[in-house]
Amino acid sequence: MNIDRRTFGFGTLAVSLGLSAAELSAGEKKVMNFEVTKTEEEWRKLLTPEEFYVLRKHGTERAHTSPLDKVYDPGIYKCAGCGQELFTAETKFNSRTGWPSFYTPIDGKVGSTTDRSFFMVRTEVHCSRCGGHLGHVFNDGPKPTGLRYCINGVSLKFEPAEASSSTEQSGS
Ligand code: FE
């Protein structure tokens, strides 16, 4: 019996999320009113396999694998799917979890849903512009919010602040 690995993986994900295949495929269509909407095939072409898995399939990267986990330079973290600015470096902290962590997103840029997968009730967070899955938010974060936005580095693109301050030096 030849089981296609991709199909099998999708079925496993659907079961773990407690969703039927119909609900999952409906979620991939333009049901949600996000400003940026694309078909599954369009996202697949636009994103790397890792980005697609996390952003569009609610995947989780392995802990301690994101280079952004160790980055604390000033700058902005944007959505790897649509480019929306999501978090600022000032709100990033070391949670020692192995995932980039922030105590708050930029106002209005992150939405949330209840995630009942893996026998837990967690709050899933996603980009408010494209619906791309980012990670989860927990109540054990530092002041001032007490929140910990535990974010997959794969779903973020970091833009360092100095990119806009070196224009006077370059005379080309
Ligand atoms: Fe986005």
Boundaries of every domain in the chain? 39-170
The count of other CB atoms within 10 Å of the CB of residue 84 is: 17
Clarify whether 79 is annotated catalytic. no
- Name the architecture of domain 39-170: Beta Complex (2.170)
Which contiguous run of DSSP H or E holds residue 115?
strand 110-115
Q: Where are the alpha helices (DSSP H) in 2-121?
A: 5-17, 21-28, 40-46, 49-51, 57
The confidence score (pLDDT) of residue 9 equals: 39
- Quote the ligand 1 centre to 134 CA distance (angstroms): 9
pLDDT of residue 32: 64
Which residue of the set 79, 127, 130, 150 is catalytic? Answer: 150
Q: Ligand 1 centre and the CA of 145: distance in Å? A: 23
Answer whether residue 50 shows pLDDT above 80.
yes
Residue 113 has pLDDT above 70, yes or no: yes
| Host H or E run for residue 122 | strand 122-127
Q: CA-CA distances (angstroms) from residue 75 to 30, 71, 88, 132, 158?
A: 32, 10, 6, 21, 7
Task: Answer yes or no: pTM beyond 0.85.
Answer: no
Distance (Å) from CA 148 to ligand 1 centroid: 20
Q: What is the pLDDT of residues 115-168, one digit of tens each?
A: 999 899 999 999 999 999 999 999 999 999 999 999 999 999 999 997 555 444
Sign of CA dihedral 109, 60, 154, 24: negative
Q: How far is the CA of 32 from the centre of ligand 1 (A)?
A: 13
Residue with tokens 């109540």, as numbered in its chain? 139
Q: CA-CA distance, 21 to 19, in Å (whole number)? A: 6
Q: Which residue has the tokens 């649509």?
A: 82
**Distances, alpha carbon 155 to alpha carbons 5, 12, 90, 126, in Å:** 24, 22, 19, 10
Q: How far is the CA of 132 from the centre of ligand 1 (A)?
A: 5
Task: Select the more confidently predicted residue: 141 or 22.
Answer: 141
